[in-house]
C-alpha cells in the first residue's frame, strides 16, 4: 500500500451486541443438539446478482456461527431464508410462488422459521404484500442490515412474533462478518454498496440505497487473508465500481485499488463488476492495461444504442461517446474482451431506436451479452412513461437481437481455435462427471476432460472446438 497508513479497526458496539445475540442463539441450538443429536438446519435460497450471492455467503456464515448446519431441502430445514431480487418482475413472481408453496410445510412443521430478505424486502409495497398474503413469513429484513440477523432471529424465537426490520439508508459497513464462500479458490469481495445513478428503469438505487465505499485498508486486508487461505481469484463487487472511493474521507480511486490489489502475493486473477461507461476513466484503462493480474475482460453495460433511449434511461452517454470509449479501450488493451447488458423494449423505443442498438452491437462485436426484456418496476421514473412497448413487439425485437448477437459471439470464439489457453478449473460438468469446466482470463467458459482433483488449479487447455457460448478442448 502506498500513501495510506494502516489503521486498526476496533470492534464497535453494534458488533458486540450482535455477538451477544449470536451466542444466545448458538446456545439454544447447542442444547437442541445435545438432546436430539441432530443439528438444526438452514436453507438459504438466493436470487439475483453476485452481490446477493455474496450476501448469502455472509448469511450462511452468520447462521453456521450460530450452530445451524446447511440443509439439502426445505423439508429437512428449521430455518429457510429467501434472499430476493427485484430487478425484473419475473424475479418477484418466483419468490411469491415459493412462499405460497411453503404454507403447507409451515402447517405441518409450525416450528420452522421462514425469513425473506434482499431487494424485495426493501420496498414498502412489496413488504406489505408479503405480510398480507404470506402470514407464515416470520422475519423480514433487508439488504442493509444482514449483520443484525442474530438479533432478529433471537427476537422471533423469544416472542414468536413476526419481526420486520429494514434500514432504508445504504448498508452499514460492519467488518466483523465473514462469509461461507461457495468455492475455496475464487471469492467475491464487496468494495462498495448502493448506487447513485438512478437509471430510470432500475429499482436498485431504491433497494440498495446510496453509494458507500469500504475503506481500502479493509478490502486489502480481506484479500490478503483470502490469499493466505489459498484463494487465487477475486471478483470485486459494486453496482458501479468506477465511482469507488469518491465518498471516502481520503479520496481514493478504483484504479489505485486495482494497482494495490495487484501487489497481493498469491492472488493471480482480479475481476470486477460492474463498470458504468460514464465513469470509465483513462486512469482505470491504464491500470487494467498495466496490472498483470487484472483480467482483460470488461463488462460495460450499454443498455441501448439509441441516443433518445439512452437519454430517457438517464445513462449520461450517447452512442457515439460509448463507441469512442470502446475504440480507446481496444487501442490501449488490444486483447480486451467486452461484454454488456442490453434492455429491449424500453418505453418509447421505436423500430429506428432498436435498429441503432443492432448497429451498435455489430460495431462493438461483444464477446457475450446479457439481454433483457424491459420490465416495469413500480416507483421508477420509466414506469410512469405512457408509451410502454407492447409485449409482442418486445419479444420480436428480443429474438432479432439474439439472432444478431449469437453469430458475433461465435465469430469471437473462433479466434480461440487451436490456441492454448490458461484455465482456472472451477467445477465438474453437470452432465458428464469426466468433464471439467473452467474459465480463461477473458472469462470464456471452457469444457475439457480431466480429474476433479484439478478443481481450483490452473491448467493449459488446447482449444479444439468452439460453440456460441463455450470453448472445448483438452489439457496439454
Binding residues for [4Fe-4S] cluster: 49, 85, 119, 195, 199, 202
CB of 142 to ligand F3S, least distance (A): 11
Residues belonging to the binding site are 49, 85, 119, 195, 199, 202
Shortest distance (Å) from residue 316 CB to ligand SAH: 12
Q: How many of the other CB atoms lie within 10 Å of CB of 302?
A: 25
Phi and psi of 16, rounded to 5°?
-65, -40
Q: Which of 414, 420, 419, 427 is nearest to 460 (CA)?
A: 420
Task: Give the three-class secondary structure for 44.
Answer: strand
Of positions 40, 171, 212, 276, contacts ligand SF4 by CB under 6 A:
276
Taking CB under 6 A as the criterion, the residue among 80, 140, 146, 203 binding ligand F3S is 203
Binding segment toward ligand SF4, per CB under 6 A, in 122-130, 199-207, 286-294, 430-438: 199-207
State how beta strands 233-237 and 470-475 pair: unpaired
Nine-digit cell at 369? Answer: 451479452
Q: Does 215 engage in binding with ligand SAH (CB under 6 A)? A: no
| Residue 54 DSSP one-character state | H
CB neighbours of 218 closer than 8 A, spacing ≥ 6?
Answer: 9, 175
Binding to ligand SAH by residue 172, rule CB under 6 A? Answer: no
Closest CA to 330 of 322, 319, 338: 338
User: C-beta of 213: minimal distance to ligand SAH in Å?
Assistant: 15
Identified binder of ligand SF4 from the candidate list 86, 123, 239, 339, rule CB under 6 A: 239
For residue 150 the three cell numbers come to 442474530
Tell me the torsion sign for CA atoms 90, 94, 99, 103.
positive
Per-residue binding string, ligand SAH, 68-87, x by CB under 6 A, is -------------------x
Tell me the three cell numbers of residue 79: 430455518
Cβ-in-10-Å burial (0-12, 13-18, 19+) of 316 comes to: middle
183 φ, ψ to 5°? -115, 160
Nearer to ligand SF4 (CB atom), residue 60 or residue 213: 213
Residue 198 contacts which entry, ligand SAH, ligand SF4, ligand F3S, none (Cβ below 5-8 A, type-dependent): ligand SF4
* x-marked contacts with ligand SAH along 82-121 as a string, rule CB under 6 A: -----xx---------------------------------
- Binding site residues, ligand SF4, CB under 6 A: 195, 197-199, 202, 204-205, 239-240, 276
- Binding site residues, ligand SAH, CB under 6 A: 87-88, 201-202, 204, 239-240, 274, 276, 301, 303, 341, 343, 372, 374-375, 377
Amino acid at each position: 500500500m502506498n500513501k495510506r497508513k494502516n489503521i486498526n479497526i476496533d470492534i464497535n458496539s453494534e458488533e458486540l451486541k450482535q455477538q451477544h445475540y449470536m451466542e444466545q442463539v448458538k446456545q439454544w441450538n447447542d442444547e437442541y443438539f445435545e438432546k436430539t443429536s441432530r443439528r438444526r438446519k438452514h436453507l438459504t435460497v438466493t436470487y439475483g446478482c453476485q452481490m446477493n450471492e455474496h450476501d448469502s455467503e455472509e448469511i450462511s456464515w452468520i447462521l453456521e456461527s450460530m450452530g445451524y448446519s446447511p440443509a439439502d431441502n426445505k423439508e429437512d430445514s428449521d430455518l429457510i431464508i429467501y434472499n430476493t431480487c427485484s430487478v425484473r418482475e419475473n424475479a418477484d413472481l418466483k419468490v411469491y410462488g415459493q412462499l405460497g408453496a411453503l404454507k403447507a410445510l409451515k402447517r405441518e412443521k409450525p416450528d420452522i422459521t421462514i425469513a425473506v430478505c434482499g431487494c424485495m424486502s426493501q420496498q414498502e409495497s412489496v413488504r406489505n404484500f408479503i405480510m398480507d398474503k404470506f402470514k407464515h413469513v416470520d422475519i423480514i429484513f433487508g439488504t442493509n442490515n444482514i449483520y443484525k440477523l442474530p438479533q432478529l432471529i433471537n427476537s422471533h424465537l423469544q416472542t414468536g412474533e413476526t419481526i420486520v426490520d429494514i434500514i432504508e439508508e445504504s448498508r452499514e459497513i460492519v467488518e466483523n462478518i465473514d462469509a461461507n464462500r461457495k468455492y475455496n479458490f475464487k471469492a467475491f469481495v464487496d468494495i462498495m454498496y448502493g448506487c447513485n445513478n438512478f437509471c430510470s428503469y432500475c429499482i436498485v438505487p431504491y433497494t440498495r440505497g446510496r453509494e458507500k465505499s469500504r475503506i481500502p485498508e479493509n478490502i486489502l486486508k480481506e484479500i490478503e487473508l483470502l490469499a493466505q487461505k489459498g484463494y487465487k481469484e477475486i471478483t470485486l463487487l459494486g453496482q458501479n465500481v468506477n465511482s469507488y472511493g469518491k465518498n471516502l474521507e481520503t479520496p481514493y480511486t478504483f484504479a489505485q485499488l486495482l494497482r494495490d490489489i495487484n501487489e497481493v502475493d498469491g492472488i493471480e486473477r482480479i475481476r470486477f463488476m460492474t463498470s458504468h461507461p460514464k465513469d470509465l476513466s483513462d486512469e482505470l484503462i491504464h491500470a487494467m492495461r498495466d496490472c498483470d493480474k487484472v483480467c482483460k475482460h470488461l463488462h460495460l453495460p450499454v443498455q441501448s444504442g439509441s441516443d433518445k433511449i439512452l437519454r430517457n434511461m438517464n445513462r449520461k452517454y450517447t452512442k457515439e461517446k460509448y463507441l469512442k470509449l470502446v475504440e480507446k479501450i481496444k487501442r490501449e488493451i488490444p486483447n480486451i474482451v467486452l461484454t454488456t447488458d442490453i434492455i429491449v423494449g424500453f418505453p418509447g423505443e421505436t423500430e429506428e431506436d432498436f435498429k441503432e442498438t443492432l448497429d451498435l452491437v455489430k460495431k462493438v462485436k461483444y464477446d457475450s451479452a446479457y439481454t433483457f426484456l424491459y420490465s416495469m418496476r413500480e416507483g421508477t421514473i420509466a414506469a410512469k412513461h405512457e408509451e410502454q412497448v407492447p409485449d409482442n413487439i418486445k419479444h420480436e425485437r428480443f429474438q432479432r437481437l439474439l439472432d444478431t448477437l449469437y453469430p458475433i459471439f461465435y465469430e469471437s470464439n473462433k479466434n480461440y481455435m487451436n490456441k492454448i489457453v490458461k484455465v482456472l478449473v472451477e467445477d465438474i460438468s453437470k452432465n458428464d462427471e469426466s468433464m471439467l469446466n473452467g474459465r480463461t482470463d477473458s472469462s470464456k467458459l471452457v469444457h475439457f476432460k480431466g480429474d476433479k482433483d484439478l478443481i481450483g488449479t490452473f491448467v493449459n487447455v488446447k482449444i479444439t472446438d468452439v460453440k456460441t457460448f463455450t470453448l472445448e478442448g483438452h489439457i496439454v
